[in-house]
Amino acid sequence: MLTTIQYNSKKIQIDLSKPLDISIPMRASKSNVNAWYIDEPKIEPVQLDDWIGSVAQGADVNFNTIKFNPHAHGTHTECIGHITKEFYSVNKQLKTFFFSAEVISLAPEKFLKDYVFSKAQLQFAIDKKRPQALVVRTLPNMKEKLSRQYSNTNWPYFKEEAIEFLVNKGIKHLLVDLPSIDREHDGGELRAHKAFWGFKDKLRKDCTITEFIYVQNKIKDGSYMLNLQIAPFENDASPSKPILYKIIA
């Protein structure tokens, strides 16, 4: 199903019948992807006296309660409210949902005892392109990302100057396949988050960070349209389902 979209001063076509889902589904399992030192998600039928909300256990309907943390348990999109005293809801800050996007693949570089993504890497990968959204696939890219337990692993992170480069490029939506764009243990500095949301200058309240994506190897680096779908939670972050579409013409 070909659809024509007006982008800037030109029209482009995408095929809505061929979505490329880069989200990780949430499962009530210890093998669900996880970070931040908490237990796995829970999806359980409600129990009221002798009634259990499960068709398999005699009920007319399945009636589950779900307990999870959006930051720890899967693909999620967060807004500036993630790191501010003032409350900001991603459901209020994210007001449009289609964006031009560039997919890039980066291998982290050794930096002291860590691995990082640098400004130079991003400059080379993006070159002169100016997408609204940037999708970063980290290398190596294995299916283990769908179930990896990240707590206390010191994952790779983005240097502050790298994020400042993206801000200067005009990128408003950053999507990564890691639990955070910052170092796991950084003493609460959150330099990358603060740089992305403009804490040194003007707050970028309409910008988002999406973490815990998974970009399959069959999805090539290049230009796409992104549909960034979120659940309507009034919270700093929400489970999300980012979808890429190839640009046909």
CATH number at residue 127: 3.50.30.50
Which range of residues forms the domain containing residue 118? 2-27+70-246
Asked if residue 48 belongs to a domain, the reply is no
Find all residues with CB under 8 Å of 245, minimum gap 6, and list them. Answer: 14, 15, 16, 18, 19, 20, 224, 225, 226, 227
Asked if residue 35 belongs to a domain, the reply is no
Asked if residue 60 belongs to a domain, the reply is no
Question: Per-residue pLDDT averaged across 182-201, rounded?
Answer: 97
User: Residues 137, 141, 146, 149: is their CA dihedral positive or negative?
Assistant: negative
Asked if residue 122 belongs to a domain, the reply is yes
| Cα Rg of the chain, angstroms | 19
pLDDT at 161 over 70: yes
What's the pLDDT tens digit per position in 214-234? Answer: 999 999 999 999 999 999 999
In the chain, the number of structural domains is: 1
Asked if residue 56 belongs to a domain, the reply is no
- Quote the percentage of the chain above a pLDDT of 90: 94
DSSP bridge partners of 14: 3, 247
Q: List the one residue out of 186, 57, 40, 26 whose CA is nearest residue 113.
A: 186
Strands 2-7, 10-15: pairing is antiparallel
For 99, the 3-state DSSP assignment is strand
